[in-house]
Amino acid sequence: MLALTAVVTLLLAVVGSLFMAWTIGAGSSGSTPFAPAVGANAISVMRAGFIVGLLGFAGAVLQGANVSETIGGELIRGVTLSPLAVIIGLFTAAALVAVGIFTGYPIATAFTVTGAMTSVGLALGGIPAWDTYGRIVALWLLIPFVGGGVSYATARILASPRIPTDVAIGVLGVLTALVVVNMEFTVLGPPGESRSLAVALWSLADATVGPSVPEQAGISLALAGGSGIALRRTHAASAVATERRFLLALGCLVAFSAGATQVGLAVGPLLPLLDQWTIPLVAVLALGGIGLLVGSWTGAPRMIKALSQDYSSLGSKRSIAALVPSFVIAQTAVFLGVPVSFNEIIVSAIIGSGYAAENSPVSVRKMRNTTVAWVGSLCLSGICSYIIITVVTAVS
């Protein structure tokens, strides 16, 4: 009987995780990566939803471990979350995100999940992990200023007549390629170890000793420099086509990064429950990736429309300006294992890029309502989760 109860409880937790993954796919990771590209008419809404689902799944499986481990074991100390706590936290957070999807406001998924899982842990007598909170809150507070500021500056540079556009695009290509060649993947390293593309290429020449920091920097700069030069030359030959291809490539990279950061919000709470089942982490990540994919295919178009049209109307240059810092911030979060909201990242970048054009005002009302929704979702998810688990524990 006890074994059956444990299995049923685990299945309920898995259902909650899949529900959370669906809401994330339909909301933040499914809608935000290609919203600027859709706003620039570089891709249709339905095609964007289809592609982002596939790339989100790939990102979840290949890069989703860091954030999952933070959500699963670093938010609360001194207590292991019970299956009931995981179920309550996941369903509460997912319900709030679902409300945002159907009302057209992008709820910050990382805020709701972090608030909910922290609250249920505190309700069980856990000790706050202040060092983890410090890293998370610091990045959350920096995102609007860094993402919005960099996208604004980039958009102004791309629009400036004093700086050749092909030069600016080439520099952005170098920056993007530098991040790409240093992204770490488990498939590139030996069992239990991740490697970046730069390190993997070095190992082809010398598999016994890894590259030093200067050597890795040299490989990275060589690869990135070649990419930037190629992008600049193609832009000089065909500006419109090159900007469109670069914009779509950035959308793909952001979609991949979205899956890597957001899957942890759905499957991270399950990790403490799976210790006794010896289930491989990659299988858990794949499960979450499937949930993201289904959410992107079934629910993302509504939010893509909201982000691409309701905040500001972006051309290709301003869309590129929004996606470059978004990609860099997302990969920084993956490296640090910090849960972040892709809605916060993309919306901040869209607003900054939108302000760069005098004739393309950003909706102040939409900005205000979104900010209130973000802060409210963090507080509401935490309060609701704490009350529900306290009441259920007292009654049972």
pLDDT in tens, 77-118: 988 888 888 888 888 888 887 777 677 666 778 888 999 999
Q: Specify the pLDDT at position 328.
A: 93
In the predicted model, what is the mean pLDDT of residues 48-76? 87
Of 13-22, 110-119, 253-262, 304-313, minimum mean pLDDT range: 304-313
Q: Which of 13, 23, 45, 24 is nearest to 309 (CA)?
A: 45
Query: Please, are residues 188 and 196 in contact by the beta-carbon 8 Å criterion?
Result: yes
pLDDT over 80 (residue 193):
no
Q: What is the mean pLDDT of the chain?
A: 83
Name every residue whose Cβ is closer than 8 Å to that of residue 193 and which is 6 or more positions away in sequence. Answer: 186
Note the pLDDT tens digit of each residue in 278-288: 778 888 899 99
Amino acid symbol at 261: T
Q: Specify the pLDDT at position 281.
A: 82
CA separation for the pair 292, 310 (Å, rounded): 24
In the predicted model, what is the mean pLDDT of residues 328-347? 87
Quick one: pLDDT band at residue 311, thresholds 50, 70, 90? very low
pLDDT over 90 (residue 176):
yes
Read out DSSP for 119-174? HHHHHTTPEE-HHHHHHHHHHHHHHHHHHHHHHHHHHHHHH-TTS-HHHHHHHHHH
What does DSSP say about strands 76-77 and 127-128: parallel, antiparallel, or unpaired?
A: antiparallel
> What is the percentage of the chain residues whose pLDDT exceeds 70?
87
185 bridge partner residues: 195
pLDDT over 80 (residue 61):
yes
Q: Which of 342, 297, 344, 373 is nearest to 99 (CA)?
A: 373
Number of Cβ within a 10 Å radius of residue 221: 15
Q: Specify the pLDDT at position 324.
A: 92
